[in-house]
Amino acid sequence: MESLTFSLPDAYGGLADTHGIARIEGDDLVLEFSSTVLGLYQGGVREVRIPIEGLESAETKKRFFRYLLEIRAQSMRSFEGVPSVQAGILKLHVARNEKLAADLLANSIATRIATHHLRRIDAAIREHGEGL
């Protein structure tokens, strides 16, 4: 799976410039990012692993001259440690030339979410019999 470069312009209340890479590894969405605070202090690279099973949806949206990859979680805890998340929604800002990569990543996340739900349904049917 290819990676997607992104930015979070509203990180830390707009005081930091945050850039990173998103990719899927196994059953996790992996975000690697670093922030420069007030243009002076650059923090180290952070990695956050978000289990796909905790996600609700992923889709790309066009906003003016930029694209967003909007990822919704079932719980706000899913995005713990990621700046700029509001109400369980993470909006990765994507450059125009990364739109195809954003679409591919959104589709891959959505497919994995659906697969996870189907596995849960299958497990419930197996456990309780076919009378469901």
DSSP letter at 59 equals E
pLDDT in tens, 119-129: 888 888 888 87
pLDDT in tens, 108-119: 999 999 998 888
**Rounded CA separation 14/33 (Å):** 16
CB-based contact 48:28 (threshold 8 Å): no
pTM of the model: 0.85
**pLDDT band at 83, cuts 50/70/90?**
confident
DSSP letter at 2 equals -
pLDDT at 72 over 70: yes
CB-based contact 117:105 (threshold 8 Å): no
Q: How many domains does the chain have?
A: 1
Q: Is the dihedral of CA 63, 7, 2, 81 positive or negative?
A: negative
Tokens 């694209």 label which residue?
A: 67
- The pLDDT score that the predictor gives to residue 131 is 55
User: What six digits make up the tokens of 65?
Assistant: 């001259």
CATH number of residue 51's parent domain: 2.30.29
Q: Which domain, by its residues, includes 43?
A: 4-128
Up-side HSE of residue 42: CA atoms within 13 Å toward CB? 5
Residue whose C-alpha is closest to residue 117's, from 75, 57, 59: 57
